[in-house]
C-alpha cells in the first residue's frame, strides 16, 4: 500500500449568506490520495468542487467557514491550524490549486 499524502475525514464547510443562512457546500466529505496517484473531482455546476479545493488549502475567508472534520496533508492535521500559517507553510510548496 502506498503512503497516503492527503486524507480528508468528514470535512464540512459552509457559506453564511448576508441573511445569516447556512449553505453547506461541502458536507461530510472523506477521501484519500496516495503518493503517485491522482484524484479527479467531477460534478454539476455549484455542487462544491471548488469549495472543496479551497477548503483543502485553508482558504477560509468570509463567507466561507470551516465547520468540522479533518484535513491531513502528509501526516499533518491542518484543520486546526491558523489559515495564514497553512498558506505560509504549505500552499504552493505541498499543495496548489
Q: For residue 82, give the 3-state DSSP assignment.
A: coil
The arithmetic mean of pLDDT across residues 4-29, rounded, is 97
Residues 36, 86: Cα–Cα separation, whole Å = 23
Domain ranges within the chain, ordered by starting residue: 4-89
Is the pLDDT reported for residue 46 higher than 80?
Answer: yes
The predicted pLDDT at position 68 comes to 96
Query: pTM for the full model?
Result: 0.87
Would you state the torsion angle of the CA atoms of residues 93, 85, 14, 30, taken in this order, to the nearest 10 degrees?
50
pLDDT band at 96 (very low <50, low <70, confident <90, very high): confident
Is the pLDDT reported for residue 84 higher than 90?
Answer: no
Q: For the domain 4-89, what is the CATH code? A: 3.40.50.300
The predicted pLDDT at position 77 comes to 92
- In sequence order, the 6+-apart residues with CB closer than 8 A to the CB of 36 are 2
Is the pLDDT reported for residue 81 higher than 80?
Answer: yes
Is the pLDDT reported for residue 97 higher than 70?
Answer: no
Amino acid at each position: 500500500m502506498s503512503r497516503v499524502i492527503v486524507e480528508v475525514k468528514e470535512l464540512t464547510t459552509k457559506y453564511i449568506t448576508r441573511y445569516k443562512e447556512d449553505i453547506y457546500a461541502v458536507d461530510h466529505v472523506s477521501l484519500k490520495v496516495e503518493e503517485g496517484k491522482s484524484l479527479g473531482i467531477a460534478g454539476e455546476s455549484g455542487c462544491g468542487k471548488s469549495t472543496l479545493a479551497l477548503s483543502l488549502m485553508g482558504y477560509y475567508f468570509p463567507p466561507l467557514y470551516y465547520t468540522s472534520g479533518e484535513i491531513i496533508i502528509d501526516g499533518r492535521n491542518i484543520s486546526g491550524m491558523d489559515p495564514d500559517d497553512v498558506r505560509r507553510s504549505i500552499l504552493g510548496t505541498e499543495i496548489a490549486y
